[in-house]
Amino acid sequence: MPERGRPAYDPLEPGEGEAIAPTGQGGPMDLALDEAESLEKTLGDDPTGPAEKARSLWSDAWHQLRRNPVFIVSSLLILFLVVIAIWPQLIASGDPLHCDLSKSQQGSSPGHPFGYDTQGCDVYTRTVYGARASITVGVCATLGAALLGSALGGTAGFFGGWGDATLSRTADIFFGIPVVLGGLVFLSVVTSTTVWPVVGFIVLLGWPQIARIARGSVITAKQNDYVQAARALGAGNTRMLLRHVAPNAVAPVIVVATIALGTYIALEATLSFLGVGLRPPTVSWGIDISNAASQIRNAPHMLLYPAGALSVTVLVFIMLGDAVRDALDPKLR
């Protein structure tokens, strides 16, 4: 007895527990069945479904970085430099301050592959230990400039008004100060032999660049629809800035800070070469380059190794910054 409202016989609808069987005539029903079986097989082989799950900016950037040989090589070299900066005794067993004048400017010898400097100090040991001061200055100055510049620039860009105008004009003043001349004036009155006066000076002149980048990035991010939606739902300024704007505006700051790290290491070496940066007994590549400059003809090895270590260090940090920039900027893919 057929159910009420249902036809007694429907040739296109199978019975209970019965599958649709092909007709064998090559008609529209057979084509539809073939397409359904093909789609089911495809979905069965691919558990992720017909479309790949969308990745976030950071996961997509990490996906790109893992396949970038420049990032891999630079990261391994930076890891090596950081390790020897923390534990230089792993590859250098000597004392960088132990000198023997009887071996002054001697070349390579067993146990001393880089030779000796003018004071009879082992160039290899001083080159290894010099990484500590240079990387410490670069990392600390980068962190200080990034935190200060991001806080000031991000706040000014988000709230605008007179605070934004004041920050912009203050940054313009700092941009007008020559870096080397400012270092000669500022550091010449400092008598400390630690790295912190140099770090403070670099942060003082480095934060305006980060602040300008952060300000522009925040101004762009706060105009997005999700920020306007959060504002319409009653979110406060602090919540919008920290939760919605800052995570989406930090990528350019990371790129600029990574590249600036190598620049800050080179700046420290320049100031130390001029005699106003790091000072003895601190072991620094800039100090060793300064001492070797006058002896480049008689003992070129004194200049070659610390200058080579400095160049490689600056280069790998700039390479890392370029790789991060390429990964975080969709326009460069």
Size (the chain), residues: 333
Q: What type of residue sits at position 295? A: Q
* Contact between residue 289 and residue 307 where contact means Cβ atoms under 8 Å apart: yes
Beta-carbon-side half-sphere exposure of residue 306 (alpha carbons within 13 Å): 35
The amino acid that residue 30 corresponds to is D
User: Which 8-state DSSP code applies to residue 314?
Assistant: H
pLDDT at 54: 57
Residues of the chain with pLDDT under 50: 1-2, 8-22, 28-33, 36, 39, 42-44, 46-51
CA distances from 28 to 12, 13, 23, 36, 38 (A): 12, 15, 10, 12, 15
Cα 22 to Cα 14, 26, 29, 260: the distances in Å are 12, 9, 7, 68
What's the confidence (pLDDT) of residue 240?
Answer: 81
User: Which among 254, 260, 252 is positioned nearest to 219, based on CA atoms?
Assistant: 252
- The residue type of 277 is G
In the three-class reduction of DSSP (H, G, I as helix; E, B as strand; rest coil), residue 109 is classed as strand
By three-state DSSP, how is residue 121 classified? strand
75: left (phi over 0), alpha (psi -120 to 50) or beta: alpha
Residue 177: phi and psi, rounded to 5, are -90, 120
Nearest C-alpha neighbor of 220 from the set 254, 244, 255: 244
* pLDDT score, position 332: 54
Q: What is the pLDDT of residue 263?
A: 92
The whole-model pTM stands at 0.78
AA identity, residue 6 = R
Q: Cα separation of 308 and 100, whole Å?
A: 24
pLDDT at 249: 85
Residue 41 exposure: Cα atoms within 13 Å on the Cβ side: 6
Q: pLDDT (tens digit, 9 = 90+) per residue, 275-302?
A: 898 988 889 999 999 999 888 888 899 9
Beta-carbon-side half-sphere exposure of residue 53 (alpha carbons within 13 Å): 6
310, HSE (Cβ side, Cα atoms, 13 Å): 26
Residue 193: per-residue pLDDT? 81
